[in-house]
Amino acid sequence: MQDTDSPLACWLRLATLPGLRRHEPPQLVRTFGTPQALFEAAHAGKAGDLSPALSAALRKPFAASLHALADATQAWAARPGNRLLTLCDDDYPPLLRQIPDPPLLLHVQGDPALLRRDAIAIVGSRNATAQGVANAQRFARTLADAGYTIVSGLARGIDAAAHDGGLAGTGSTVAVVGTGIDIVYPAAHERLAARIRADGCIVSEFVLGTPPRQGHFPIRNRIISGLSRGVLVVEAAEKSGSLVTAGVAAEQGRDVFAIPGSIHSALAKGCHHLIRQGALLVDTASDILGAFGHRDTPAQEVCREEVLLEQLTQSARLLLDALGYDPVPADTLAARLKLDAADTQASLLALELAGVVERLPGGAFCRLKR
């Protein structure tokens, strides 16, 4: 290697070296101590049992673009609120270090101390129902108030709701992203990302400027579970990416929790599959806290339905009492209660605006629990 190849350039080169499986770079660092020592050994012909192809790749000169990336990364890390952690740093998250394939580099924005605290991941569908969003927010808030940091992936739906709940609680939240940390994806979450930078933490293993690519998100899922003591799946279809996270969590020895749903809901199928595979069925945050040895039950929030009930008209109350948590068409409700169709629609609209009823595709409605 050349004298101009900085230690950071060595970290970046090893982290981006093509042809290596994810567990191989951290193994090389553990063997040689640092990437710089690895490259020096390769150039000196003292790299041990490395394959000829890998030895040759390690001896190749560093490209000018890599030095430019190292300079840009160094400048980024020097800005207030930014931090670059390597696998060898004392502040590297200890739980994440234990997984078979920890990332070599972590770009961190916000409070890096959150990465060393007890955390619970909350994941689920991007196309979440209103009930799923409410569940994610409520569980996240309760768990955060119990002292846990909420980890999720900044995606639409359940992830965003989990971050909201974590920010509202004392434990805050960590967002693990599948892009370079200088890119917010989806762009609509710029405001949420700014809140997390200010009061939580954003993390990425990808180098600056890395755009969103489909293959990046399953890769980052191992970090979501790796930072956490357990993973809660709120809503998931049968082939959801959340099931990938849950599978990785189980392989890492983490606890997996799942909220059951209606047998008629496609977004409950994945959770039901996890429960059949051994995930712990939960319907309150206390179930998760109990699994981690907490004896005190969190104070229950006042149910929004109880507050709103007094404000509803008589027909709206009848509809709410008759409406279950499975979808029911509006005309079926009207016929069942012998109500005028127009009055039924008006009452359902009032319940929807009050946040206790969700309108579903096809003209069906279901009750929400807040």
For residue range 336-362, what is the model confidence (pLDDT) as tens digits? 877 777 778 877 887 887 778 888 877
d(CA 54, CA 57): 5
Instruction: Look at residue 370 and tell me whether its pLDDT is greater than 80.
Output: no
Contacts of 212 (CB under 8 A, 6+ apart): 178, 179, 183, 185
Instruction: Look at residue 26 and tell me whether its pLDDT is greater than 90.
Output: yes
**164, 186 contact by CB (below 8 A):** no
Q: Which amino acid is at 314?
A: Q
**160, 173 contact by CB (below 8 A):** no
Instruction: Look at residue 29 and tell me whether its pLDDT is greater than 60.
Output: yes
Tell me how far the alpha carbon of residue 315 is from its chain's centroid. Answer: 41
d(CA 14, CA 223): 19
**163, 192 contact by CB (below 8 A):** yes
Beta bridge partners of 72: none
- The per-residue pLDDT for 309 is 53
Share of the chain above pLDDT 90, in %: 66
pLDDT tens profile 72-131: 999 999 999 999 999 999 999 999 999 999 999 999 999 999 999 999 999 999 999 888
Q: Using alpha carbons, select from 209, 168, 169, 201 the residue that is nearest to residue 185.
A: 209
d(CA 258, CA 82): 34
Q: Which structure tokens are listed for 135?
A: 């569940």
With tokens 């039950």, the residue in question is 297
pLDDT tens profile 260-319: 998 888 899 999 999 999 999 999 999 999 999 887 655 544 444 444 555 566 667 777
Instruction: Look at residue 13 and tell me whether its pLDDT is greater than 80.
Output: yes
- The per-residue pLDDT for 2 is 61
Name the more confident of 254 and 328.
254
pLDDT mean over 144-154: 97
Going from N- to C-terminal start, the domains of the chain cover 1-76, 109-291, 304-367
- The per-residue pLDDT for 335 is 82
Q: Which structure tokens are listed for 17?
A: 């070296």
Q: Which amino acid is at 330?
A: A
3-state secondary structure of 97: helix
d(CA 42, CA 49): 11
d(CA 242, CA 134): 18
Determine phi and psi for 100, rounding to 5 degrees.
Answer: -65, -25
- Other CB atoms within 10 A of residue 202 CB: 22
3-state secondary structure of 107: strand
Q: Which structure tokens are listed for 42?
A: 């390769």
**221, 241 contact by CB (below 8 A):** yes
- The per-residue pLDDT for 304 is 47
Could you tell me how many residues make up the chain? 370
Confidence band of 218 (pLDDT split at 50, 70, 90): very high
The DSSP H or E segment spanning 222 is helix 216-226
**128, 161 contact by CB (below 8 A):** yes
- Domain 304-367 = CATH 1.10.10.10: yes
Q: Using alpha carbons, select from 198, 184, 110 the residue that is nearest to residue 154.
A: 184
What single string gives the DSSP state of each residue in 315-370?
A: HHHHHHHH--SS-EEHHHHHHHHT--HHHHHHHHHHHHHHTSEEEETTTEEEE---
> What is the CATH code for 109-291?
3.40.50.450
